[in-house]
Chains A and B, each alone.
Chain A
Amino acid sequence: MAIDTLPESSLPVTRPFRVKFGFLTSTPIIAVATVCLVLIILMAIFAPLLAPHDPLLLTPAQRLKPSSAQYLLGTDAYGRDLLSRIIYGARISLVIGLGAAVCSIGVGLLIGLVAGFFRWVDAVMMRVMDGLMAIPAILLAIAVVSLSGASIWTVMIAITIPEIPRVARLVRSVVLTAREEPYVEAAISLGSSLPKIMWRHLMPNTIAPLIVQGTYVCASAILTEAILSFLGAGISPETPTWGNIMAEGRAYFQVKPSLIFWPGLLLSIAILSVNLIGDAARDALDPRMKQREGK
């Protein structure tokens, strides 16, 4: 260029690298996964409207009924409506899934940012994280729940703790590369304070990988909650969760296999959807692809 020309002023003022959600409909499979997840979320939100019966109402006269007009999926061993219990169960699963994802990302982001920036914190923090990772997640969760009593909050915390190291490591690795960027050095020489540098120049780099990691945490939290409930270490048995329903149904598997089939199917669909969306997000937000577009 002989003259350093300006880009046309008609160029729209766009935010670069803002997370775009167009990838949710990028392929038919992803679109189906998105629809499934949205349906499950709607089901959880409108559970009181959708459920034909009270999920806690015991009707011993109606034990283990097959599907009928009154009980679409039949009843369980205590005569409770299976469909209503499954619909209400989605609430617990999603709250725990989202809650664990948000908590682990929040705490992990903080630890990762600090560890990535201060070397002495890094040495200590990362060894603690290594230690945490060495403990099997389920065992840790069972220990936490049995020590502090089962409630939705303790279960969520129990699931969050083993996920924190993964998030922290991810953030730390992003920060370690980003802090070498000249724009971070420029901010130092401009006299920006450390919190400002972290928040403004380092944190935005971690958003894309964190969204991806968040979906994995969410899926694994839903699964872990179901496992805990199934093992009897989760939320109290009368509360409808997919894991609890399956745990109770185990005893009657030969009489009425649908007690395990339906909650299991929904659990699989939910986890598969979240994982597929996570994969799509990773492809869409991959920094190398971003660079290709950015150049």
Chain B
Amino acid sequence: MTTTNSSNVVLDINNLVVGLGRKADAHRIIDDLSLQVHEGETLCLVGESGSGKSVTSLTVMGLQQKGTLVPSGGSVKLVGEELLTATDRRLRQLRATRMAMIFQEPMTALNPVVPVGRQIDEVLRAHTDLDSRARRQKILAMMEHVRLPDVERIFSSYPHRLSGGQRQRIMIAMALVLEPKLLIADEPTTALDVTTQKQILTLIRDLQRDHGTAVLFITHDMGVVAEIADRVAVMRHGRLVEAGPLQDVLRTPKMDYTRNLLSSVPSLVPRAPRPETSEPVVLEANELSKIYRERSLYGKAREVAAASNVTLTLRKGRTLGIVGESGSGKSTVARCIVRLIDPTSGGVRLAGREISDLSRRLLQPHRQKIQIIFQDPYRSLNPRVTVGESIAEGPINYGMPRKDALARARELLELVHLPPDAISRYPHQFSGGQRQRIAIARALALDPDVLVADEAVSALDVSVQAQVLDLLDEIQRRLGIALLFITHDLRVAAQICDDVAVMQRGRVVEQGPAAEVLTNPQQAYTRALLDAAPGRGWDFANFRPVSEGIVATA
């Protein structure tokens, strides 16, 4: 637990103001922010997109876009030294030696054409007088320290040879090799799978304990907060909403915003199961396989099974979730079912009709029965086409007169809780959550029997995510649509799915009712996934640990 002792404050941010541009009346990205991070403490900076948490970290590092983001007031002190007025030269010295940063995407943060060992070496060459032998010793020791296997080989490997988790370990090694006082971690585990995320979080916590580093940990994920934070600071629109020790903020949030944010986090405890139905089966996948063949000039062709023998059944009005980590083949299955790609073998029956072997032309009439929503609402809508035209495109394709199709688009916009006048606007005038609603309206325009949602809420902030999930639930109840819900997020799966199929390396390893699979998993892999889910001990929406909840209801 933290001792609030002013003597060991490592990072001291006081009344920081960062404006957009140099003008005095410039829009304030950061407004009057004050934070302290103490030695050996982890402060989690939480907020939704646009809350200014990343700008805060970049300002501390002096890496903000010069001329665009201008710190115009307040102070940022690192172990007593003012950073806002420090020269570029001094800031360069301080980076790596006193403060270091790790980023979200380790692939883009590492130089792809330099071996990782040499990239860490660069830090040592710039800041120490060690000779090359001593540097190499130090780097190898550090790589062992971040628990990389086979360090000699990895030392001379290029970033693309390493896995995402290994790359992030290299980033951590690079950041910590000179034992800085302050480590800033900007969403370091967001791009990683849950099992890898768990390892990285443990690693950061262990290293911090050993070295007494102060950690400023930026995240949007309440689960991660519960795992790693000593103290929590909640930001919104560039202002500090609330700050305090982890237990206080999670148990007794003082501000409404924090309260809303926490209650939006879906619980890992599956929702009460809906009664079994005898509704007709609308979608069936039978031993569906997709094999990618990699032909090479010499030697044998390499085969990669992105999906093998996947069998799924979905009834009208039900939701089937496919969960798994990246590369497990869940998206491949979805795309085979929608026939965006052709399955190698196996069958897909849509409303009793086999569609997997139909030609493009014969498939045309069946397309309208199954529609898909994509992950990234910024890319799934054509920026040059109005919202109305986008929604009306499907019905027009199937012969509806343009005027009727646009009228239908209006109705659908109301169904997804957008004003009908949105029809003549362009996608860039809407936020991410609104765009996802538009994408849903577009998919519904054809009255499909099955809606496939491929990570449809993964790119959204939790509060928006909760709204979109509610919307999907409402639509399912009103229209009796069947949902195939692909997600990597077990929390989301627990809240929306009736049945769950867990996929690993192209195979379904476990399948069954959500309540059973997610509370009493039979397979080791499912158990590992559940174990790795961050913050599994917390029931955020009820402001208490899960264990207390069980006691209370028992």
Chain A residues within CB distance 8 Å of chain B: 1-7, 9, 11, 13-17, 181-183, 185-193, 196, 200-201, 204, 294
Q: State the CA gap A14–B427 with chains docked (Å).
A: 11
Residues of A contacting B419 with CB < 8 Å? 6, 9
B384 interfacial contact with A, CB 8 Å:
yes
Given contacts A6-B419, A193-B397, A201-B382, contact A186 B374 (CB under 8 A): yes
Q: State the CA gap A9–B442 with chains docked (Å).
A: 22
Do B397 and A185 touch (CB < 8 A)? no
Do B428 and A190 touch (CB < 8 A)? no
Do B394 and A16 touch (CB < 8 A)? no
B439 interfacial contact with A, CB 8 Å:
yes
The residue on A at minimum CB distance from B381 is A183
B376 interfacial contact with A, CB 8 Å:
yes
Residues of A contacting B446 with CB < 8 Å? 190-191
The residue on B at minimum CB distance from A5 is B431
Residues of A contacting B382 with CB < 8 Å? 183, 187, 200-201
Do B397 and A191 touch (CB < 8 A)? yes
Q: Could you write out 26 A-B pairs with CB less than 8 Å apart?
A: A1-B431, A1-B433, A1-B463, A1-B464, A2-B261, A2-B463, A6-B419, A6-B422, A7-B429, A11-B425, A15-B426, A183-B381, A186-B374, A186-B380, A186-B442, A189-B338, A189-B340, A190-B371, A190-B393, A190-B394, A190-B446, A191-B364, A191-B394, A191-B446, A192-B393, A200-B382
User: Contact flags (1/0) for B261-291 with A, using CB distance below 8 Å?
Assistant: 1000000000000000000000000000000
Do A17 and B393 touch (CB < 8 A)? no
B421 interfacial contact with A, CB 8 Å:
yes
Residues of A contacting B376 with CB < 8 Å? 182
Do B340 and A185 touch (CB < 8 A)? yes
Residues of A contacting B434 with CB < 8 Å? 4, 6
Q: State the CA gap A1–B462 with chains docked (Å).
A: 9
The residue on B at minimum CB distance from A185 is B340
Q: State the CA gap A6–B40 with chains docked (Å).
A: 43
Q: State the CA gap A16–B429 with chains docked (Å).
A: 9
Do B380 and A189 touch (CB < 8 A)? no
Q: State the CA gap A16–B427 with chains docked (Å).
A: 9
- Inter-chain residue pair count (beta carbon < 8 A): 97
Do A191 and B398 touch (CB < 8 A)? yes
Write the nearest CB–CB distance from B42 to chain A, whole angstroms: 26
Residue from A4, A183, A200 within 8 A of B431 (CB atoms): A4
Q: State the CA gap A294–B394 with chains docked (Å).
A: 26
Residues of A contacting B422 with CB < 8 Å? 6
The residue on A at minimum CB distance from B448 is A189
Do A182 and B338 touch (CB < 8 A)? no
Do A191 and B426 touch (CB < 8 A)? no
Do A1 and B383 touch (CB < 8 A)? no
Do B429 and A1 touch (CB < 8 A)? no
Q: State the CA gap A186–B429 with chains docked (Å).
A: 20
Given contacts A189-B372, A191-B397, contact A16 B379 (CB under 8 A): no
Do B385 and A200 touch (CB < 8 A)? yes
Q: State the CA gap A187–B396 with chains docked (Å).
A: 12
Given contacts A7-B430, A17-B384, contact A190 B379 (CB under 8 A): no
Q: State the CA gap A6–B442 with chains docked (Å).
A: 19
B119 interfacial contact with A, CB 8 Å:
no
Given contacts A204-B384, A294-B428, contact A186 B48 (CB under 8 A): no
Q: State the CA gap A191–B422 with chains docked (Å).
A: 24
Given contacts A4-B467, A6-B419, contact A191 B368 (CB under 8 A): yes
Residue from B260, B367, B425 within 8 A of A189 (CB atoms): B367
Do A4 and B397 touch (CB < 8 A)? no
Write the nearest CB–CB distance from A47 to chain B, whole angstroms: 40
Do A13 and B428 touch (CB < 8 A)? no
Write the nearest CB–CB distance from A202 to chain B, whole angstroms: 10
Do A2 and B380 touch (CB < 8 A)? no
B449 interfacial contact with A, CB 8 Å:
no
Q: State the CA gap A3–B431 with chains docked (Å).
A: 11
Write the nearest CB–CB distance from B52 to chain A, whole angstroms: 13
Residues of B contacting A182 with CB < 8 Å? 374-376, 379-380
Given contacts A16-B428, A183-B380, A190-B394, contact A2 B260 (CB under 8 A): yes
Write the nearest CB–CB distance from A274 to chain B, whole angstroms: 27
User: Contact flags (1/0) for B354-370 with A, using CB distance below 8 Å?
Assistant: 00000000001001101
Residues of A contacting B128 with CB < 8 Å? none
Q: Ordered nearest first, which 6 A-B pairs have the shortest CB separation?
A: A190-B394, A182-B380, A182-B374, A191-B367, A183-B382, A4-B433
Residues of A contacting B418 with CB < 8 Å? 6
Q: State the CA gap A81–B444 with chains docked (Å).
A: 72
Residues of A contacting B292 with CB < 8 Å? none
Write the nearest CB–CB distance from B272 to chain A, whole angstroms: 26
Write the nearest CB–CB distance from B428 to chain A, whole angstroms: 5
Residues of B contacting A193 with CB < 8 Å? 397
